[in-house]
Structure 1
Amino acid sequence: MKTPVRWEPYLWEEAHPADHRELASLEQEWKIRLPDDYKRAACSFQGMTPRPNIFQTPQGEDVFSVLLTASAHEGMESYSIQEMFKLLRPHVPAGIYPFATTPGSEHLCFDYRNSPEQPEIVLVTMDLQIIPVAGSFQELLEGMKG
């Protein structure tokens, strides 16, 4: 039987839920619709780490480290979706938006290039390769182990 994902503290000891307005602001700014399952997770678990947290790529296993925050929190700006997007935007094709990081400073991202309705999940590596990981956010979570 598959172990369900549970979320544990990472950035803070207590939960810092995202506000629906912050996610709506990202959607408006990026002109996309974030997946509902992601929005539910972000509203409860931003800044947290999932357990299990190991996901598969075509190159092997990697680790989902932390769910990025929908807004910049003082002292935690480097974990903000918006800050990560600003760093990645000049280096990746349009339609790719970060939502999580790995311990190796790689980024799990939504990839809207093939479907504006249901983004795929890709990993943007340190050398800016774009590697497919899962067909959806839910598929990513359901496929994790460890």
Structure 2
Amino acid sequence: MQYQGMTPFPDVIDIGKGNTVVSELLTISESEDEDLRIYSMADTYELIKDHVPQGIYPFAGTGAGDFICFDYRSNPYAPKVVFYFTEEAGEQAIHVVANSFSEFLSKLHNGE
């Protein structure tokens, strides 16, 4: 809750096809400010829900239009973390980054 809408530090993660920058953690609470709604988890989900399988929910953006998401499909209590490539389709668009949120956090680095 404390860091929603902010950039994590370190902010680089290997997504299996090279590194990407995690530019913002999406917000849990929705804003009345139209300019800030692009950072809302709910609004982002509405944008991508027709393009991802059910059970995939975004929690971070890359700034390049791609998203880092929780994947609840195989375990509703312990989601994996996946990278969603908006330019790809179907299952090819989803790549596992970490088996848990804790593992995801431990994989963040400063790009060096």
> What is the TM-score when the length of structure 2 is the normalising length?
0.88
Task: Report the counterpart of residue 68 of structure 2 in structure 1.
Answer: 108
Q: Among 51, 73, 98, which residue is 2:9 paired with?
A: 51
1:67 to 2:25 alignment: yes
1:68 Cα deviation after fit? 0.3
Q: Distance in 2 between matches of 1:119 and 1:49?
A: 22
1:105 Cα deviation after fit? 1.3
Amino acid at match of 1:98: P
1:94 Cα deviation after fit? 0.3
Q: Distance in 2 between matches of 1:48 and 1:98?
A: 15
Q: Distance in 2 between matches of 1:79 and 1:44?
A: 15
Higher helix share: 1
Q: Distance in 2 between matches of 1:88 and 1:115?
A: 21
Query: Structure 1: which 4+ aligned runs deviate by more than 6 Å?
Result: none
Q: Distance in 1 between matches of 2:38 and 2:8?
A: 19
1:138 Cα deviation after fit? 1.2
1:71 Cα deviation after fit? 2.1
Task: Report the counterpart of residue 117 of structure 1 in structure 2.
Answer: 77
Q: Distance in 2 between matches of 1:103 and 1:78?
A: 11
> What is the TM-score when the length of structure 1 is the normalising length?
0.69
Provide the secondary structure at the position in 1 that maps to 2:29.
coil
After TM superposition, the structure 1 = structure 2 runs for residues 81-100 of structure 1, keeping only pairs within 5 Å, are 81-100=41-60
Task: Report the counterpart of residue 144 of structure 1 in structure 2.
Answer: 108
CA deviations 1:75-112 (Å, max 9, x no partner) are 30011000100011111100000000002110000001
Percent identity of equivalent pairs: 39
Provide the secondary structure at the position in 1 that maps to 2:46.
helix
Which structure has the greater CA radius of gyration? 1
Q: Distance in 1 between matches of 2:18 and 2:73?
A: 24
Provide the secondary structure at the position in 1 that maps to 2:7.
strand
